[in-house]
């Protein structure tokens, strides 16, 4: 198993290929539907409103050579006000396909973690900008929550707990590279092979 630490140099990402198991470490940010819509509509397309300026600067710093995780966690707020993660498996990534290439390009992301894989736009962005899609095990929620060692910040909590942008430090977060920066996608390969099999089973083609 390879180990990667955020911030991730481009060369480390370019060395990865589909099928590689990776143990991820460092500070990452959670973001799913509302966060991606917000980032594209309010920050990337611009102009950035005054009230969003501070967050925009923070995200530029966090996401440069960084990683976004598609996840809506179950969290616990402790009496002293600090947060911890209870359950934090990946959510389905394809919903972010319309936003992801822009987010990778604009912020200089090196990795996107989720489940189910993404489409051609993201695959191309991975090639063009040096990024990978990392597949976490869907539903392995407490196991992944155990990798979340610390909650450093939460942005846009008004989106709701699952949709907020949680900034966390992870250790030994287990993922598999299913889309690499060389144009390869396990998802595309499995889809094509299963299409041929389906056609044979139902008498088409």
State the catalytic residues: 36
Cβ proximity to another protein, 49 vs 86, nearer residue: 86
Cβ proximity to another protein, 9 vs 138, nearer residue: 138
- Answer left, alpha or beta for residue 106, where phi above 0 means left and psi between -120 and 50 means alpha: alpha
Cβ proximity to another protein, 91 vs 106, nearer residue: 91
Nearest to 13 by CA among 31, 22, 1: 22
Least distance to another protein, CB of residue 169, Å: 18
- DSSP H helical segments within 29-119, as ranges? 33-38, 53-63, 100-107
Question: Can you tell me whether residue 13 is helix, strand or coil?
Answer: helix
- Answer left, alpha or beta for residue 26, where phi above 0 means left and psi between -120 and 50 means alpha: left
Least distance to another protein, CB of residue 114, Å: 10
Which residues of this protein are in contact with another protein, per CB under 8 A? Answer: 19, 21, 34, 71-76, 86-89, 91-92, 94, 115-117, 135, 137-143, 145-146, 159-163, 174, 176, 178, 186-187, 189-191, 193-195, 197-198, 201-204
Least distance to another protein, CB of residue 123, Å: 15
């Amino acid at each position: 198993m390879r180990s990667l630490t955020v911030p991730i140099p481009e060369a480390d990402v370019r060395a990865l290929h589909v099928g590689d198991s990776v143990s991820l470490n460092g500070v990452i940010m959670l973001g799913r539907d509302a966060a991606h819509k917000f980032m594209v509509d309010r920050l990337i397309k611009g102009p950035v409103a005054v009230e969003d300026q501070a967050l925009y600067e923070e995200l530029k710093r966090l996401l440069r050579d960084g990683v976004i995780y598609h996840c809506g966690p179950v969290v616990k707020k402790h009496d002293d006000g600090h947060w911890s993660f209870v359950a934090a498996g990946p959510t389905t990534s394809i919903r972010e396909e319309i936003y992801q290439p822009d987010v990778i390009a604009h912020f200089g992301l090196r990795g996107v973690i989720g489940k189910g894989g993404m489409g051609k736009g993201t695959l191309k962005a991975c090639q063009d900008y040096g990024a990978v899609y990392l597949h976490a095990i869907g539903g392995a929620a407490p196991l992944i929550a155990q990798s979340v060692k610390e909650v450093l910040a939460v942005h846009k909590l008004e989106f709701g707990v699952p949709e907020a942008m949680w900034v966390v430090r992870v250790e030994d977060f287990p993922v598999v590279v299913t889309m690499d920066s060389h144009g390869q996608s396990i998802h595309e390969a499995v889809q094509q092979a299963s299409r041929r099999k389906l056609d044979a089973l139902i008498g088409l083609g």
